[in-house]
Chain A
Amino acid sequence: MGSFAGGGLPPDDVVVTALRAGDEAMFAALLDTWSGGLLRVARSYVSTDHSAEEVVQDTWLALIGGIDSFEGRSSVKTWVYRILVNIAKKRGVRESRTLPWSAFEGDGGGSAVPGPVPPGGWKEVPAAWPTPEGEALASEVRGVIAEALDGLPPRQRTVITLRDVEGWSSDDVCEVLEISAANQRVLLHRARAAVRGRLADYFESVKPPE
């Protein structure tokens, strides 16, 4: 089996056949391609890097144990992410990172925060953001983003991570999280609005005085 660098992974049937045959290069390629995203999603549910790593490790062990019985009803990718979410949820509840699970289900509900538009409409146009130039600014912005993600309710964080960080389609996200397209959109929109708000605060705070 050659390397998949640049070309992405081969189709699912090729992947599954190779894994069942014990193809180490294929397993290594999957580890390499998906572990980053799996870690990011795991962080939505658990509180430490160490826990996230263990969740990802357990997910891969479940894949190793389960590949022979994989029925191909979903893609391998969504199957693996579903395993991850199930393991991570259980672990997150055990760690009781935030609140009981019912609270996890509640963050798609009514609008709790006031919208960005002041009553009566924009009094002044929101400030233009600087284009991040140079490594220093870029790394500070990344820091702001990381903090903003940390502050999101788990379901919002999972959705925005899959959609915007990992670049998934809405259909795949709905399948993994077993939610409706409308619910997915509400969670995503709220998460994006929250992250935008944090970035706006940050750019406001570093703005040179006029």
Chain B
Amino acid sequence: MKRFTCDELVEVITAYLDHALDQRACDGVRRHLACCEGCERYFEQFRATIGVLGDPPPEKLRADVQDRLMSAFRERRQA
């Protein structure tokens, strides 16, 4: 199992979440998080951040732009 310092651990969280670490490193991350309160909290905040990012306000093209694009599609297809 790989041993991580706190500095190292916070830098591999994305790799860990992406399953891009080998088994040894993965075990090391789990082990560290289980016994380091600071990193565990940081990890939680990191995941909470990803969660909030995934819930964005809705975003839409303006209606007149949409209408213009629909006409462009129509015209091109008839040409």
Chain A interface residues toward B at CB < 8 A:
21-22, 24, 27-28, 31, 35-37, 39-40, 53, 56-57, 60-61, 64-65, 115-117, 121-122, 124-129, 132, 141-142, 145, 160, 164-165, 167, 170, 181, 185, 188-189, 192-193, 195-196, 199-200
CB-CB nearest in chain B for A196: B49
Please determine whether A57 and B45 come into contact, CB atoms closer than 8 angstroms: no
Residues of B within 8 A of A (CB): 5-7, 10-11, 13-15, 18, 20, 36-39, 41-42, 44-46, 48-50, 52-54, 56-62, 65-66, 68-70, 72-74, 76-78
Looking at chain B's contact residues, the main secondary structure is helix
- Report how far A22 CA is from B77 CA in the complex, Å: 5
- Is the beta-carbon distance between B42 and A116 smaller than 8 angstroms? yes
Are B10 and A36 neighbours in the complex by a CB distance under 8 Å? no
Distance, CA A145 to CA B46, complexed state (A):
13
Instruction: Report A138 CB to chain B, min CB distance, Å.
Output: 8
- 8 other contacts beyond A64-B76, A193-B10, with CB at 8 A cut-off? A22-B78, A27-B69, A36-B60, A39-B59, A64-B69, A185-B15, A192-B46, A195-B49
| Cβ B49 vs Cβ A60 within 8 A | no
Closest to B19 in A: A170
**B72 contacts which of A36, A40, A61, A170 (Cβ < 8 Å)?**
A61
Pairwise interchain contact B48-A53, C-beta atoms closer than 8 A: no
The answer to whether A126 and B59 touch (CB under 8 A), given A27-B70, A64-B72, A189-B13, is no
Given the interface contacts A28-B70, A116-B10, A165-B53, does A53 sit within 8 Å of B59 by beta carbon? no
B48 to chain A, nearest CB (A): 6
Contact B37 A122 (CB under 8 A): yes
Q: Is the CB of A64 within 8 A of B73?
A: yes
Taking a contact as CB atoms under 8 Å apart, the answer to whether B59 and A36 are in contact is yes
The complex places the Cα of A60 from the Cα of B65 at a distance, in Å, of: 11
Q: How far is the CA of A193 from the CA of B9 in the complex (A)?
A: 13
B69 to chain A, nearest CB (A): 5
List, in ascending order, chain A residues with CB within 8 A of B45's CB: 126, 129, 196, 199-200
Cα distance A127–B45 in the bound complex, in angstroms: 9
By secondary structure, the A interface counts as helix
Contacting pair B7 A167 (CB below 8 A): no
State the Cβ distance, A39 to closest chain B Cβ, in Å: 5
B46 and A122 contacting across the interface, CB-CB below 8 Å: no
Task: Please determine whether B49 and A185 come into contact, CB atoms closer than 8 angstroms.
Answer: no
